[in-house]
Amino acid sequence: MKKISLVVPCYNEEESIPLFYRTVSKVIDSMNTPTPTVTPEYIFVDDGSSDHTLKEMKELHQSHPETVHYRSFSRNFGKESALAAGLQATTGELVAVMDVDLQDPPELLPKMFALIENEGYDCVGTIQKERRGQSKLRAFLSSSFYRVINKISDVRIEPNARDYRLMTRQFVDTVISLPEFNRFSKGIFSWVGFKTTYLTYESQPRAAGTTHWNLRQLFAYSIEGIIDFSNAPLRLATWVGSISFILSIFGLLFVIIRALTVGGAVAGWPSLVAIMLFIGGIQLFCLGILGQYINKIYLETKHRPKYIVREEK
C-alpha cells in the first residue's frame, strides 16, 4: 500500500469541494480494485476564502478524520502560497497537486501512478491541449510567453503545462527545501530536475464556480516567471543603454566637427529634444527593469513567511 497525498488549493470553491471529493474518491477506489494499492490523504488548503469553503472542508474532515485534512490561511495569499503550504503538510510516499474545480481530470491518476511505479519517473506532469473557448488574444499571449521565457531562461518551462502533477517524496522534499519567497512553481518544478514526463489531455470546463485569473493577473504572473528565472532583461537593459551611449558619442562628435567646420546650426533644436527624450526614455526603461529585480530582492530579504495558517486539522 502506498500513501498518496493530494494537495488541493481552494479559493472560494464551496460548490466544487464536495464534488471534487466524490469524483476523486471514485478514482482512488478504482485503483484499489481488485488489489488495494493506495491510501489517499487529502490536504485541502483554504486560501483565505470569503465563502463557505472552510465549512465544507471541516465537514469533510469530520466525516473522514483519517484521510481529509485542511489548512486555512489568515487571508488570500495566492495559489503559489497555497501549494507551498499544502506540500509542507503532506506525509505520503507520493504527492499529487490538483485544482479543486476538476479541470485536472482525476482519471489520469492511475496512469500517472503507473508511470512512477513501473517506469521509474520522479514526476509526471500534465499538459493541457489548446483551451476550447479561449480567446485568440489569450492563446497568442500565452504562446508568446512560453516562447520568450524558454528563449531567455535557463530552465525549460513546458508550454501549457498545468500545475497538476504526481511526484515522489524525494521530489517534493527537494521542492519544499527551496526557501524562496517569490515562488513560480512552473519554474521551480523544472529547476529541481529529476526524471519528469508529461501526459497530454483535452481541456475540461470548470465543474463549478468561476476562474480567478484575469488578463492583468496572467500578465503579472508571466513577468514574475521571467524575472524569477532569467536575468536576460537586465542584460537587455545593459545592451540598450550601451548602444544608445555609443550612438550619442557619435552624434556629439558629428555636432562638434560640424561646428568647427561649417558652423553651428541653431535650427537643430527639435532633433535635439527628440534625442534627449529618446535617451531619457531608454534610461527610465532600464531603471524600471532594475527596479523589478530590486523589488524581488527586497521581498526576499524581508524573510516574511509565504503564508499564515489561521487554523488546521
Sheet hosting strand 38-46, strand order edge to edge: 196-201, 123-128, 161-168, 94-97, 2-10, 38-46, 68-73, 309-312
Closest separation between CB of residue 126 and ligand UDP, Å? Answer: 12
In the list 12, 90, 103, 168, the residue contacting Mg ion (rule: CB under 5 A) is 103
Size of the site for Mg ion (CB under 5 A): 3
- Contact region with ligand UDP (CB under 6 A), list: 127-135, 141-149, 187-195, 207-215: 207-215
Q: What does the alpha-carbon distance between residue 77 and residue 111 come to, in Å, rounded to a whole number?
A: 32
Kindly tell me which of 116 and 161 has the beta carbon lying closer to Mg ion: 161
Does the protein bind ligand UDP through residue 56 (CB under 6 A)? no
Nearer to ligand UDP, 101 or 122 (CB): 101
Nearest residue to 166 (alpha-carbon basis) of 28, 305, 23, 17? 28
Of the candidates 92, 71, 93, which has an alpha carbon nearest to the alpha carbon of residue 82? Answer: 71
Nearest residue (CB) to ligand UDP, 13 versus 122:
13
The CB-of-203 to ligand UDP minimum distance in angstroms stands at 9
Regarding 52 and contact with ligand UDP (CB under 6 A), the answer is no
Contact 104, 83 (CB under 8 A): no
Task: Kindly state the smallest distance separating residue 47's Cβ from ligand UDP, in Å.
Answer: 4
- Provide the minimum distance between the beta carbon of 78 and ligand UDP in the complex, in angstroms, as a whole number: 5
Per the omega criterion (within 30 degrees of 0), is the bond before 34 cis? yes
Q: Which does 301 bind (CB under 5 to 8 A by kind): Mg ion, ligand UDP, none?
A: none
101 contributes a contact to Mg ion by CB under 5 A: yes
- Structure letter (DSSP) for residue 50: S
Tally of CB atoms within 10 A around 223: 13
2-21 binders of ligand UDP (CB under 6 A): 9-11, 13
Is residue 222 within the footprint of ligand UDP (CB under 6 A)? no
Q: Which does 13 bind (CB under 5 to 8 A by kind): Mg ion, ligand UDP, none?
A: ligand UDP
Question: What span, in angstroms and rounded, lies between the C-alpha atoms of 130 and 203?
Answer: 7
Contact 50, 11 (CB under 8 A): no
* Among 100-108, 220-228, 247-255, 288-296, the segment contacting ligand UDP (CB under 6 A): 100-108
Q: Does 214 bind ligand UDP (CB under 6 A)?
A: no
Helical residues (DSSP H) of 42-135, grouped into ranges? 53-63, 79-89, 109-119
- Return the SS3 of 258: helix
Q: Cα–Cα distance between 36 and 109 in angstroms, integer?
A: 15
Nearer to Mg ion, 207 or 282 (CB): 207
| 8 Å CB contact between 81 and 306 | yes
Question: For ligand UDP, which residue of 25, 76, 88, 231 counts as binding (CB under 6 A)?
Answer: 76
32 binds, among Mg ion, ligand UDP, none (CB under 5 to 8 A by kind): none
Interface with ligand UDP (CB under 6 A): 9-11, 13, 47, 76, 78-79, 82, 99-101, 103, 211-213
